[in-house]
A and B are shown apart, each in its own frame.
Chain A
Amino acid sequence: DAGVIQSPRHEVTEMGQEVTLRCKPISGHDYLFWYRQTMMRGLELLIYFNNNVPIDDSGMPEDRFSAKMPNASFSTLKIQPSEPRDSAVYFCASSLTTSGGTGELFFGEGSRLTVL
């Protein structure tokens, strides 16, 4: 398996523009997580899905952020309009349900977003 695939790897945009980050989880995994990483705040959980259904979006900073998972092999995280404080590395991760809950978490390489 190719692992979790994220695109784009790098994105530089201007304040006010719409940004869309994409993620393809590992085939067969039923959990998908979106995290944001900054030096100041570390890794923050933004939202996660189980079987394509959003379970908890309490980490989404504000209404400018939205996430969708239209099918088991694709998810998007959208920021509209973007602001400089959104600059961070955004990670997508997926895992498979085990008898005890979500199993080992596999991360993508991340999308580094810079908003000027």
Chain B
Amino acid sequence: KQEVTQIPAALSVPEGENLVLNCSFTDSAIYNLQWFRQDPGKGLTSLLLIQSSQREQTSGRLNASLDKSSGRSTLYIAASQPGDSATYLCAPGSSNTGKLIFGQGTTLQVKP
């Protein structure tokens, strides 16, 4: 059974800092991993999708890496802004079942 852990659970940083969010998963039989953002009271928005054959994926100030063999992914946010404040969730997709199982998320606050 896939278990997903995200560290830290919460993070507060001043504007402009670079930061790293961590995601670890127990079952490495995945075909991809997705990172999502969730604003309070809203649904989830997909940020990045990394295929299992890829090492990293970039979109603007976001960069996600994947080390499938060690069961780890990181989301790097460069030059953080107050608008980045949200909860970030990762979800590896099982290659056996097609399921996407979510971590508990990291709640980020970027202070002006």
User: Per-residue 0/1 for B85-110: is the Cβ within 8 Å of any A Cβ (1 yes, 0 no)?
Assistant: 00001010101011111111100000
B46 within 8 A of A: yes
> Contacts A42-B104, A42-B105, A100-B51; is A105 near B98 (CB within 8 Å)?
no
Contact B31 A100 (CB under 8 A): yes
Chain A min CB distance to B91 (Å):
7
Main SS at interface, chain A? strand
Residues of chain A within 8 A of B44, CB atoms compared? 91, 93, 105, 107
Chain A residues whose C-beta falls within 8 Å of the C-beta of B91 in the assembled complex:
105
A 26-38 binary contact with B (CB < 8 Å = 1; else 0):
0000010101000
B46 & A106 in contact (Cβ 8 Å cutoff): yes
| Residue from the list B32, B46, B102 in contact with A42, Cβ < 8 A | B102
Assess the B43–A107 pair: CB atoms within 8 A. yes
Q: Which parts of A83-116 form the interface with B (CB within 8 Å)?
A: 91, 93, 100-110
Alpha-carbon gap, A48 to B91, bound state (A): 15
Q: Is the CB of A43 within 8 A of B102?
A: yes
- Tell me how many residues of B have a C-beta within 8 Å of chain A: 26
Q: In the assembled complex, which residues on chain B have CB atoms less than 8 Å from the CB atom of A56?
A: 97-99
**Interface size in chain A (residues, C-beta < 8 A):** 24
Query: Nearest-CB distance from B29 to chain A (Å)?
Result: 11
Which chain B positions have C-beta within 8 A of A103?
A: 32, 49
Asked if A102 and B93 make an inter-chain contact with CB atoms under 8 angstroms apart, the answer reads: yes
Q: Is A55 an interface residue (CB 8 A)?
A: yes
CB-CB under 8 A from A107, the residues of chain B are 36, 43-45
Known: A45-B101, A102-B31. 12 other contacts (CB 8 A): A42-B104, A43-B89, A43-B102, A45-B99, A91-B43, A100-B52, A101-B93, A102-B93, A105-B36, A105-B44, A105-B46, A109-B43
